[in-house]
Amino acid sequence: MSLSIRDGLSADLRGIQAIYAREVLHGCASFEEIPPSIEDMRVRMDDIQAQGFPYLVAVVDGALAGFAYANRYRFRPAYRYTLENAIYVDPSHRRCGVGRALLGALIDGCTDARQLISVIGDSANEASIQLHQSLGFSHVGTLNSVGFKHGRWLDSVLMQRPLNGGDTHPP
């Protein structure tokens, strides 16, 4: 298996949208219920990259296998050193190192941030929780039954990882 991580490109949007649409329609990692269009995904990617935040893709043997990005956690000025990450891996490439490679590269790309937050949809998403823990994230809380999708209530698991010295000194 040949795995590479690189910046996302417009040419990747069809594959990115397909991975995300599958999760929206059949999974619980995203609380969206209607898959965004390729153009919607383009706007999202362009916005993230224009802010200087990483938007990465994983390519396995020439095929798009997943994507990850970091974006503002919240928009009020005091949150400017805190980012939120998102990571989605095609089901055919799960449990073979793609998620770990993407998240590791994403962490490395958050050069100005001091905290990285992950809001994991569905407390039963053990694979994502374990992945984040293995890369230094700590469980900081659970929001119980905050989403309703696929006929059931879903939790959001909050995880956090300090970056670049965290809160040990001012930015």
* Tens-digit pLDDT profile for residues 73-116: 999 999 999 999 999 999 999 999 999 999 999 999 999 999 99
| Residue 123 and residue 155 in contact, taking contact as beta carbons nearer than 8 Å | yes
Q: In sequence order, what are the beta bridge partners of 118?
A: 85, 159
The pLDDT of residue 164 is 95
- Name the packing angle between helices 126-134 and 98-109 (round to 10°): 50
Confidence band for 49, pLDDT divided at 50, 70 and 90: very high
**Residue 158: is its pLDDT beyond 90?**
yes
- Residue whose entry in the numeric block shows the structure tokens 């809380």: 141
DSSP classification of residue 168: S
Of residues 165, 142, 162, the one with CA closest to residue 154? 142
* Domains defined for the chain, CATH in brackets: 3-162 (3.40.630.30)
Q: pTM of the prediction?
A: 0.96
**Strand-pair category, 115-121 with 82-89:** parallel
* Residues shown for the chain: 171
Confidence band for 128, pLDDT divided at 50, 70 and 90: very high
Mean pLDDT value across the chain: 97
**Residue 1: is its pLDDT beyond 90?**
no
**Strand-pair category, 55-60 with 152-162:** unpaired
Question: Secondary structure of the chain: what % helix, strand, coil (to 5)?
Answer: 35, 35, 30
Q: How far apart are CA 169 and CA 171, in angstroms?
A: 7
Sequence-separated (6 or more) residues with CB below 8 Å from residue 169: none
Phi/psi of residue 162, each to 5°?
-70, 150
